[in-house]
Structure 1
Amino acid sequence: MKLGKGSCNGTFGELVQGIIAERPFLITLPIPSLQSEATFVPEPAVSGIRVVDSKMKAKKAGESLLQLFGIRGGGYLEIHSNIPAGKGLASSSADIVAALRAIADSYSLPLTNEIISMIAAKVEPTDGVMYEEAVAYDYIHGQLIESFGALPSFILVGIDLGGAVNTIEFNQVPKAYSREDQEQFILAYNLVKKGFNEKNFSYIGRAATISARVNQKILPKHIFPQLDKLAHRFQGGMVVAHSGTVAGILLDGNLPDGDEVVSHLFREMSLAIKGVPINLFHYESKEKIII
């Protein structure tokens, strides 16, 4: 046993989320600068896991992990995160994954993404953030559907519309997707695959826009018309948190004069959406981010 450490990134909403053939799925949009970091101090003589800051979901997941491997002891779990809760940024999923990794590191457990998924899905619908690459993921049952690999370079200008969404309560409400909606999900899924296969971010942006439009019937964003117009004007795509409060515009990260384009888009969004706080995410590569 030793001091265990684990971490996990968050997301900015989802590229696509819906159902195909009655199976719920999402396609992740990992954001490496959003991080949950956990440390675990093992205490063999103590039963259960102690936490602070109401990290009860991570506590529940951690205790399930110890039970799975027949470990009777417990310990102290501490989590530090820069991911706001209730926004659609995968804050609680990232906490759970980071906690499981820290506990596994402490007890040298053979933790896999499949085990993480199994445990996380029993706590709440989970966002697939145990996978660092972009993946298609069944967020209700905690199952990997397909991995797409690293995202091509992109630019994201995102906003938070305020408030919060309870993911557990939101996913308990049936979603009334029409046959046409499900056809749109299939189209979006195939566009994402095409975008990754051809390293062409325009297809991925188009897929995100399709999914965002369908989601307007489920969890509408009041600034959708303004974002839709700006995305079209700047030849980008829309991305939303399908069960959260954030939304934004995606652009190809390899645009000529990309910094100038981002500055111009930022100004246009500020004018179009007055009174809404704007966060700027500018990816120059999958390794480097400026906020």
Structure 2
Amino acid sequence: MKSAVRRPAAPGTRRPAGAGPLHPADLDPPTGTGYAPCHHGEILQGVFLDGAGRRCAGLVTLPMAGRGSTAEFIRRTGTPPEALTVVPAGRTKAARAAALTVAECARRTGRPPEGGELRLAGDVPVGLGMGSSTSDVIAAVRAVADSYGLRLPAGTVARLSVRAERASDPLMLDGRPVLFAQREGRILETLGPALPPLVVVGCALGGGAPVDTLSLPAHEADDHDVRTCERLRTLLRRAVATGDARLLGEVATASATRGQRVLRHPEFEVLTGIARRCGAVGVQIAHSGAVAGALFDPATPGVRHRVRGCRRALDAHGIPVTRTFTTFSTFDTFGTPTSQEVSHGPAHRRGDRPARPGTPRRPARLPAL
């Protein structure tokens, strides 16, 4: 059943008491906003078996708070759907996602598909394997849906994202640890409610130069690869269930080492050596970029000193440190994580809207390391 859409009252007309806040679809032109986070590469990536026993490429990303993409979609009533522009120009994947979402929302609401202007802003570095394009795409999908007064299910957002860019990171799930089939846009397994708490010392390998993933040699998975990936999947499932940061670190290091068969970062051995000497539980890398991280258990005695020593050692070896962050957004005392909700506009969560494109972000609240 379609709900009636209110339009703004005529000038000088007072809105009735208790009418509630204006909805994006009430505005003329209808405007929606969306937000999507980024990630810090992968904890695990490889080829796994789905529920039917079929081989399927999959990954588990390392969530990272404080960075992401915001989108605003101004829907132009009465314009054809192909009259859709994006600012800044050149964000073709996000533009394609917006067009696909317009068609999806028109089908769901019975309203005509219409064009408009998509405005994007964000602070996710491009080419480092942090999901910059997926962040743009998901923010665009959410903004378009918001302009139609819809909150699309995560599965629908995933399907649209894959159609827009052929492979998608699971950023529409907002940090839930899942094994995600990036080329199919579906969850292979939900590993649990949250990763074990970690402190991550982020760095950039290869001097931070973007990685051209299309130029990398392809590696065809064989039966041994699948068995290895399934074993790591089992260990990661146990690490999440028990909150075992050390076991998670072992899985991430094994996956990162396997990724070296393709990426071949010359500093990888230096990174793993520094992490080992500083007492990290492991390392992780982006399997499609240059970003990497040394992983620390926040409950380890002297973790602050260990993290500082890791940063100094990376600097001394010419590996630029990018950011130190945690897998938990806020905290009461160091090592006691709490959670934090992320809003996506009124159609997604009733409350504060995300900042409009171009608005400075508030710095993430992180431990003082």
**Which moved further from structure 2: 207-216 or 106-115?**
106-115
Contact 2:314 2:320 in 1 (8 A): no
Gaps of at least 5 residues in structure 2 are 1-24, 50-54, 107-111, 331-364
Contact 2:195 2:327 in 1 (8 A): no
For 1:13 and 1:266, locate their aligned partners in 2 and report how far apart those are by CA, in whole Å: 19
- Offset, 1:232: 2.3
Aligned to 1:63: 99
Give 1:164's match in structure 2, choosing from 191, 210, 228. Answer: 210
Is residue 114 of structure 2 the alignment partner of residue 73 of structure 1?
yes
- Offset, 1:236: 1.7
Contact 1:33 1:289 in 2 (8 A): no
Aligned to 1:35: 68
Aligned to 1:51: 86
Contact 1:135 1:149 in 2 (8 A): no
Counterpart code for 1:270:
D
Q: Deviations over 1:230-254 (max 9, x none)?
A: 2222142110000111112111122
- Offset, 1:137: 0.2
Aligned to 1:137: 180
For 1:270 and 1:33, locate their aligned partners in 2 and report how far apart those are by CA, in whole Å: 23
Give 1:232's match in structure 2, choosing from 273, 276, 280. Answer: 276
Q: Helix, strand or coil: the match of 1:217?
A: helix
Q: Helix, strand or coil: the match of 1:44?
A: coil
TM-score (norm 1): 0.92
Superposed, which structure 2 residues align to 1:44-193 within 5 Å? 44-47=77-80, 48-53=83-88, 54-70=90-106, 71-124=112-165, 125-132=167-174, 133-147=176-190, 148-161=192-205, 162-167=208-213, 169=214, 174-193=218-237
Q: Deviations over 1:54-90 (max 9, x none)?
A: 2111110110011123342121111111101111000
Counterpart code for 1:131:
L
Residues 90 and 186 of structure 1: is their aligned pair in 2 closer, same or farther, counting only changes over 3 Å? same
Residues 170 and 146 of structure 1: is their aligned pair in 2 closer, same or farther, counting only changes over 3 Å? farther
Aligned to 1:199: 243
Contact 2:142 2:151 in 1 (8 A): no
Counterpart code for 1:240:
I
Contact 2:200 2:293 in 1 (8 A): yes
Aligned to 2:7: none
For 1:41 and 1:103, locate their aligned partners in 2 and report how far apart those are by CA, in whole Å: 8
Aligned to 2:303: 258
For 1:62 and 1:209, locate their aligned partners in 2 and report how far apart those are by CA, in whole Å: 37
- Offset, 1:95: 0.6
Q: How many residues align?
A: 287
Q: Deviations over 1:160-198 (max 9, x none)?
A: 13222345x369x64233443333212221121111100
Counterpart code for 2:178:
V
Aligned to 1:24: 57
Q: Helix, strand or coil: the match of 1:105?
A: helix
> Which has the larger strand fraction?
1
Q: Helix, strand or coil: the match of 1:218?
A: helix
Contact 2:34 2:146 in 1 (8 A): yes
Q: Helix, strand or coil: the match of 2:261?
A: coil
C-alpha RMSD of the superposition? 1.9
Aligned to 1:10: 38
**Which moved further from structure 2: 1-10 or 57-66?**
1-10
Residues 230 and 184 of structure 1: is their aligned pair in 2 closer, same or farther, counting only changes over 3 Å? farther
For 2:188 and 2:56, locate their aligned partners in 1 and report how far apart those are by CA, in whole Å: 10
**Which moved further from structure 2: 244-253 or 254-263?**
254-263
Is residue 291 of structure 2 the alignment partner of residue 246 of structure 1?
yes
Contact 1:187 1:207 in 2 (8 A): no
- Offset, 1:289: 2.6
Contact 1:121 1:142 in 2 (8 A): yes
Q: Which has the larger radius of gyration?
A: 2
For 1:225 and 1:110, locate their aligned partners in 2 and report how far apart those are by CA, in whole Å: 45
**Which moved further from structure 2: 147-156 or 239-248?**
147-156
Q: Helix, strand or coil: the match of 1:35?
A: strand
Gaps of at least 5 residues in structure 1 are none
